[in-house]
Structure 1
Amino acid sequence: MTRKKRSRKVGSEGPAQYDDRSPSQTELEGRLQKKLKKRKGLKAGSRHSDTATLSARKQAEKKDPRHGSKKAVPLIVEKKPHPKSAEAKKARRLSAEQELEMLENDAQLNVLLDRIENGESLGAGLQGYVDEKLDRIEVLMKQLGIMDESEPEPEKEETPSSSKKRTDDDLLAAFENLDIDQE
């Protein structure tokens, strides 16, 4: 074997590093690391664990995520019409009272009507929407008999009997305003 000479040159490991930890601290850390590496299983259990954790653990075991809906299953099966049949379409349609109530409670329609009453002008789309809904309300009211088909009567014109009730001042004003050149 050949003999290697020792030299004072820095080797491949680099210069020596100074560690100011005491040997006792180093030993403690080493022991902890060794202990952590050694343990592979779960933490040891206790026979005398408190009841709260036991009850929570039992509830977790009872709860099965594979169970489906909690909705009650009807025992009597009601016969329903086929979805594409005429009977189903009739059942889906709202009654006239329900539709009228929905239109009267329509928040968007009420807001637009308030805007119209305040004198604002709506765009063509919104005005069309309002007109369509008001027409539908009118049709439903006629269908239900809520609105009479007769139009309000115009104001009556004065009759000769009511002309007697005119005062002299009214007659004088009418005479002065009379245009004679009219033919």
Structure 2
Amino acid sequence: MIKKKPKLSRAEINERSRLLKRKKKHKGLPSGSRISPSNSASNEKTTVVSDPRVGSKKPIPLFVETTKVSNKAKNNISTVKPKKLPPELELQELENNPYLDELLDMIESDQKLTPKQQQDLDIMLDRIDELMNLLGYTESDENQRDELDTSEDIVSLLRKR
């Protein structure tokens, strides 16, 4: 025994559909609710919600800095700095330094050195002079040892340039 619903007339169907349409039309929030919140909500909450779309405040450099030192230059600078070694070992390390050998080869082949290379060379040669004076090696001792060799000392040759 199933109850049957009474059949509606065409006028009643149209009336119901107009009511449903009116209800659907007024569904949802009023327009502009994101921009201007309702007065009741603003009275309850006094805290300002930050906008999550705002990015980082970190300044972005507009120009590329050219003062950055490359890894090769860092390695060269570290060899130039005096180390906390006994003078004999430090002198031996400086004399066997491949960077110093490279710079001396460039000078012998009459190549121009960059100002940085020239500065490194001067620092290393000055340190070698200091260590030789500290250890008691003088030019007269070298001249006595190298009487057969008529060429001048490499350090003095480089100082003249």
Coarse TM-score class (shorter-chain normalised): 0.3 to 0.5
TM-score (norm 2): 0.35
**Higher-RCO chain (CA-CA 8 Å, sequence separation at least 6):** 2
More helix as a share of residues? 2
